[in-house]
Amino acid sequence: LGGLVTGQNVAPLLVDHWLSGEFAGGNSGRKVAQIEDLDRREAEIAGIDAVVQQKAQTLEERGKALDDRENSFNETLKQYDNRKANIDQNATYLVGMPPKSAVAILVGMDDQMVIDVLRAVEAQAKAAGTTSIVSYWLSLMPSDRSATIQRKMASKPESLQ
């Protein structure tokens, strides 16, 4: 629009008419089609990027969950190793005591701990090539407790631990 030729009242009318009109194509049609194609591709890429971001977040959450499970497993394993070491140490100490003192300590333990200690004592005796004192300890225990422990030992063989 020529500023000297077009009046102030006519210019806005011309611009409004030009903006409200249909695009006829012409020389710029190919360029407009390319711009529309780029806009469409950009929208597709944005959609794909959102999906990729969501999958990356899911993978990160799964990785954290796996790390938590591994840490939990390692902690449980460490507790088991510590418990086994404590049982072996208790077995060693009890074997070195007078039998009646050892039985007094065993009677104060819960059944599973007694069973684990007795099995550790038997394993230590076998490894040393000596006779186990477990049967003598069981004979010194109150008969009902001894029977309960023996029954539990028989119902849960060592290989199933």
CA 70 to chain centre: 5
Model pTM score: 0.52
Distance CA 29, CA 23 (A): 8
**pLDDT given at position 157:** 64
**d(C-alpha 120, C-alpha 89), whole Å:** 9
Per-residue pLDDT of the chain (161 residues; tens, 9 = 90+): 777 788 888 888 888 888 888 777 677 778 888 899 999 999 999 999 999 999 999 999 999 999 999 999 988 888 777 888 899 999 999 999 999 999 999 999 999 999 999 999 999 999 999 999 999 999 999 999 999 999 999 887 664 44
Cα distance between the two ends of the chain:
94
